[in-house]
Amino acid sequence: MTSTPADRPGSSTLAVHAGETRPKPYGAIATPIVQTSTYSFEDTAALVAHMQRKEQGLPLLRGEYGRYGSPNAALVEDKLAALEGGEAACVFSTGMAATVLSLLAFLQVGDHYIMTDDCYRRTRQFGLELMPRYGISCTLAPINDEQALLDAIRPNTRLILTETPTNPYLRIVDLPRLAELAHSHGLLTMVDATFGTPCNIRPLALGMDLVIHSATKYLGGHNDLLGGVVIGAKELVQKVRDFNHIVGATSDPHTLFLLQRGLKTLSLRMTRHNENGQRVAEFLESHPAVRRVWYPGLASHPDHEVARRTMSGYGGVVSFELEADLDGAACFIDALRIPYIGPSLGGVESIVEQPALMSHFTLSEQERAEIGIRGEMVRYALGIEDTADLLADLAQALDRVPLADHAVDQRGAP
């Protein structure tokens, strides 16, 4: 499991204080929202001094124009860089913007990149359907299959993009090994660690070059904002930042204020998410109405040993298949009283979904089967509610599931 170096403050201390200045304007404890699109200069000399610092790549003392950043963005970026152990961070309007613009910043016509095959479906869609329009090709490689990864490398391969834990199977990539293989071939490495958060896994310390998060999820933590971030070495992040200065996928100051506020309780929230995830996964695995559970904290998970080596907690998302069909799974979800039915994850409120009817609704049953999305699969993104209440709610809902015959024999007639 990952550990905290003796000279590095703990996650809660960093989440509260990293990036914060003292004293703040007006003596405030909370950083004020600087709600402006443009910034003025006292005189021409001040403008020239600002532009010279910008040209030399020096830290800027103040803003210039909202698309290039803001005091609220600078604070959040410094805080996230500290949490991940990176030199710099760049925030975006969404997690997909962070992923797409990070790829485009390092790829050009004629280049090729590799993506592990259980990445977020929109990330796969971008690589396989949209990137070819711009002369960039993408190959999928199975997770933790070294030979498949080596076979996918071409002379024009530039980088490897992966995700850990993945959605919805919560597969865990052996990041140290992936980084070693990639770097031995001169390839850049990127990882989407949204499901992990800096509290549970720190990919930069495991050898990865860039870490991407959808800040919409655990980082914001309250289901009330959209955002993304890329974190890593200063020169790599600056290349992405410069690209975004042109594209303009910028996050506004009010959203950044909400993200900053959410980050202050990240470590506390993740402790409860991790606890709820582990307890619920163990409960589900022992229940006769459940066929299979995917959760990295379970010994039955295919990547459990990798998770133990690379993670300090396993998060609040649990995926499982019921001993039922699509309609039976829908009956179960409708019987739950605590979670909301919806997409996304990582907030204080629990959210549950049937991937076949939510994220993969437009696919045919055969297409879903080809990627392993069965009608009876449920993804439960646990919030921070009391564990006992979540377990009791699951128990009463599972009792209402119309089971397959062999499962009824195990449990007894409903």
Residue-wise DSSP of 213-282? EETTTTTT-SS----EEEEE-HHHHHHHHHHHHHH--PPPHHHHHHHHHHHTTHHHHHHHHHHHHHHHHH
pLDDT bin (cut points 50, 70, 90) of residue 408 is very low
Ramachandran angles phi, psi of 115, nearest 5°: -130, 135
Over the chain, what is the mean pLDDT? 92
Helices 253-263 and 71-84: angle between axes, nearest 10 degrees: 30
CA distance 29 to 241: 29
Q: How many CB atoms lie within 10 A of CB 1?
A: 11
Q: Is 386 a catalytic residue?
A: no
Whole-number Å distance between alpha carbons of 200 and 188: 23
What letter does residue 127 receive in the DSSP assignment? I
Q: Which of 113, 120, 169, 218 is catalytic?
A: 120
Check if 192 is active-site: yes
Alpha carbons 190 and 106: distance in angstroms, whole number: 11
- Extract the tokens encoding 326: 């699509």
Per-residue pLDDT at 205 exceeds 90: yes
Question: 192 - beta bridge partners?
Answer: 163, 212
- pLDDT tops 70 at residue 359: no
Q: Are 249 and 95 in contact (CB under 8 A)?
A: no
- Asked if the model's pLDDT at residue 56 lies above 50, the reply is yes
Distance CA 75, CA 63 (A): 12
Residue 48 has pLDDT above 60, yes or no: yes
Catalytic residue among 111, 118, 174, 192: 192
The question of whether 22 is a catalytic residue gets the answer no
Reply yes or no on whether the pLDDT at 206 is more than 90.
yes
Q: Is the pLDDT of residue 372 over 90?
A: no
Question: Across the strands, what pairs with 88?
Answer: 232
Q: Kindly name the residue from 67, 121, 177, 291 that is annotated as catalytic.
A: 67
Helix axis angle for 387-398 and 326-335, nearest 10°, is 140
Q: Could you tell me the pLDDT band of residue 7, with boundaries at 50, 70 and 90?
A: confident
| 13, HSE (Cβ side, Cα atoms, 13 Å) | 5
3-state secondary structure of 159: strand
pLDDT of residue 404: 60
Is residue 6 predicted with pLDDT exceeding 60?
Answer: no
The whole-angstrom separation of Cα 116 and Cα 189 is 12
Question: Cα dist. 110→3, 13, 140, 149 in Å?
Answer: 41, 45, 17, 20
Q: Mark whether 217 is an active-site residue.
A: yes
Asked if residue 49 has pLDDT above 50, the reply is yes
Confidence category of residue 376, pLDDT binned at 50, 70, 90: confident
Do residues 89 and 230 make contact, with C-beta atoms less than 8 angstroms apart?
A: yes
Exactly one of 217, 241, 269, 374 is catalytic; which is it? Answer: 217
Per-residue tokens: 301: 């998970």
User: 0.85 cut: is pTM over it?
Assistant: yes
Residue 89 has pLDDT above 70, yes or no: yes
Nearest alpha carbon to residue 344 among 355, 334, 335: 355
Instruction: Give the three-class secondary structure for 360.
Output: coil
Helix H or strand E segment including 137: strand 137-141
